[in-house]
Amino acid sequence: MKREFLLLAAIALIQAPTVYSQDVYERNESADVKHYVFNLSLNDTNNEIKGEAQITVDFKAGAKNFSLDLIKKSNEFGMDVTGVFKNDQPVQYEHANDKIVLPSDGPGTASYSIQYQGIAEKGLVIDTTKFGRRSFFGDNWPNLARHWLPCVDHPYDKATLEFKITAPSHYDVVATGKKINEDDLSDGYKMTHYHEPAPVAMKVVTIGVTRFATKLLGSVGEIPVTAWVYPENKDEGFSDYAVAVDVMQYFVENIGPYPYAKLANMQAKTQWGGLENAGTIAYFENSVTGENKVEGLIAHEIAHQWFGNSATENSWNHVWLSEGFATYFAILYLENAYGDLKRKEELEKDRTQVIEYYKTTPSAVVDNSIKDPMKVLSTNTYQKGGWVLNMLRRRLGDETFWKGIRQYYATYENSNAMTDDFRKAMETASGHDLEIFFQQWIHTKGYPELLWNWKYENKKLLVSVEQKQKHHTFIFPLEIGIKTNAATQIQKVQVKNNSETFELSVETRPDEVVLDPEAWLLFEENK
């Protein structure tokens, strides 16, 4: 989710050359990382790690120099590179400005080996758990992998990967991927090997090394769903995380195949409320209470496996494709489990947050002025993004909405997408032109601020609606709830202008008239 700690805490896009907008990461379109093998040695004496990364890269013809992100040692923190090989031969390289610059002579495939050591300031959190046990947790989002893993540290270039982790034998070791084997080494250490056959973005690559209590919660198809919790929290953790199986089942049935080798649910030290690491989700330490308080958080992080992890935003400025989706798909899960009232309740809470946020930060969901990926998370990309999907669902109808979602996922599974790609997928599925919809809800700030009134005369209900926001006239369907003798009848009108009066045939004088009784429109009521 990432939201718990962080948040409690126009035009554009269509022009091709600026398609990645303000996302300032320097891309190398002539190189494509295919596979990483991260050999890591951890110890109990100090926080230094020793690493060897084997990196397989495909180059196009005329490839320029290839570079990997790795924070260079300065003072206490950072990594010293001790050797670099290309196809097993030592090569000249430069490690400066937190990049290792390597020779490339494409086209073709090359493998590099980078040997390094040091203490990571971030990304790999070495600390004691709340119960005082030593622990090592990867916490990469958004671009902290470069503190401990040489890599292309941007989600545009995803790769399959392996971890080979050498650690003192008393630890339990989990990492991205399927466990291949665990070898006892002679000297009180063991090496644990994990392999993930689906490409993963570095933002959601992780390891967890400490004492864990583990349990197989269930399987969905071939995919094991497990809990990895602190031994002191064993019973509570197994109970709190058990719902992951139902969540997984719901998403597999409705969206498409689960993308990764396993789904581990891990109690962890993370700077976030939850971090959706691919197949190895980290939940904050106090997520475990034994009182099943984190079902929504679990649903959010599991939804990310499809949206954000597998179908990944191609630019940080489009992170709503990850967070807005996880927010809304958690609501869809809760609606399915507890009924439509739950959906309304969640969306009404989110609407209040969107309105509060807009008062201080009037910006669009896709905000191309943001350059720092740490700043792309906001009420806009979470709650407003979720609301946009809710409105899209109403506009298309449930069947077409889900058909479009499945098509979008099938097209961008294990790949990358931009907002336009999602729009086109939904247009193809529905046959609707959604240009205006996306333009006003995703690329324009705000929402309709409605000043409205009603009167009843001659069997006519007259509803006058004025859009008070000046910067943009929104076009939207508005549902009007007409309450008479405790029954509510809903009539729908299309609002297209700044100021309009709608005339509805109503037999008897209503007791009350309300706007949007079923929570399908993001708007603010200015009475």
Nearer to Zn ion, 23 or 323 (CB): 323
What would the x/- binding string for Zn ion be over residues 5 to 44, using CB under 5 A?
----------------------------------------
**By CB under 5 A, what part of segment 440-469 binds Zn ion?**
none
Buried b (16+ CB within 10 A) or exposed e, 140-155: bbbbbbbbbbbbbbbb
User: How many CB atoms lie under 10 A from the CB of residue 368?
Assistant: 20
Q: What DSSP letter does each residue of 72-112 carry, written as one string?
A: BPBTTBEEEEEEEEETTEE---EEETTEEEE----SEEEEE
Tokens (6 digits) for 118: 């040091």
Nearer to Zn ion, 2 or 154 (CB): 2
> Minimum Å distance from CB 382 to Zn ion?
7
Tokens (6 digits) for 410: 């099938």
Nearer to Zn ion, 323 or 350 (CB): 323
Give the C-alpha separation, 326 to 343, whole Å: 14
**Helix or strand holding residue 297 (H, E):** helix 295-306
> Minimum Å distance from CB 376 to Zn ion?
12
Nearer to Zn ion, 5 or 20 (CB): 5
In order of 2, 271, 372, 379, the CA distances from 6 in angstroms are 6, 9, 15, 10
- Quote the Cα angle for 186-190-195, to 5°: 140
402, 456, 444, 457: which is closest to 426 by C-alpha?
402
Helix (H, G, I), strand (E, B) or coil at 381: helix
Give the C-alpha separation, 184 to 166, whole Å: 10
Nearer to Zn ion, 323 or 346 (CB): 323
Nearer to Zn ion, 282 or 482 (CB): 282
Give the C-alpha separation, 258 to 307, whole Å: 11
Give the C-alpha separation, 425 to 408, whole Å: 5
Nearer to Zn ion, 33 or 326 (CB): 326
In order of 56, 70, 142, 154, 255, the CA distances from 158 in angstroms are 12, 17, 14, 8, 21
Nearer to Zn ion, 173 or 281 (CB): 281
The sign of the dihedral angle between the CA atoms of 332, 334, 338, 344 is: negative
> Minimum Å distance from CB 380 to Zn ion?
14
Nearer to Zn ion, 217 or 326 (CB): 326
Nearer to Zn ion, 129 or 277 (CB): 277
Cis bond before residue 107 (omega within 30° of 0) = yes
> Minimum Å distance from CB 327 to Zn ion?
7
> Minimum Å distance from CB 148 to Zn ion?
22
Give the C-alpha separation, 120 to 207, whole Å: 14
123 torsion bin: left (phi>0), alpha (psi -120 to 50), beta (else): left
Nearer to Zn ion, 308 or 510 (CB): 308
What would the x/- binding string for Zn ion be over residues 216 to 255, using CB under 5 A?
----------------------------------------
> Minimum Å distance from CB 202 to Zn ion?
17
> Minimum Å distance from CB 270 to Zn ion?
12
> Minimum Å distance from CB 353 to Zn ion?
15
Give the C-alpha separation, 79 to 94, whole Å: 13
What would the x/- binding string for Zn ion be over residues 270 to 309, using CB under 5 A?
----------------------------------------
> Minimum Å distance from CB 96 to Zn ion?
34
User: Taking CB under 5 A as the rule, does residue 1 contact Zn ion?
Assistant: yes
Helix (H, G, I), strand (E, B) or coil at 330: helix
Nearer to Zn ion, 2 or 195 (CB): 2
Helix (H, G, I), strand (E, B) or coil at 508: coil
Give the C-alpha separation, 380 to 378, whole Å: 5
Instruction: Please give the size of the binding site for Zn ion, defined by CB under 5 A.
Output: 4
> Minimum Å distance from CB 476 to Zn ion?
27
> Minimum Å distance from CB 274 to Zn ion?
7
Which region, judged by CB under 5 A, interacts with Zn ion, from 1-9, 161-169, 232-240, 245-253?
Answer: 1-9
Nearer to Zn ion, 321 or 461 (CB): 321
> Minimum Å distance from CB 410 to Zn ion?
22
Residue type at position 222: E
Which region, judged by CB under 5 A, interacts with Zn ion, from 2-10, 355-363, 387-395, 418-426?
Answer: 2-10
Contacts 24+ apart (CB under 8 A), 482-491: 482/506, 482/510, 482/513, 483/510, 483/511, 483/512, 483/513, 483/514, 484/508, 484/509, 484/510, 484/511, 485/511, 488/517, 490/517, 490/518
What would the x/- binding string for Zn ion be over residues 397 to 436, using CB under 5 A?
----------------------------------------
**By CB under 5 A, what part of segment 162-181 binds Zn ion?**
none
What would the x/- binding string for Zn ion be over residues 304 to 343, using CB under 5 A?
-------------------x--x-----------------
> Minimum Å distance from CB 325 to Zn ion?
9
Interface residues with Zn ion (CB under 5 A)? Answer: 1-2, 323, 326
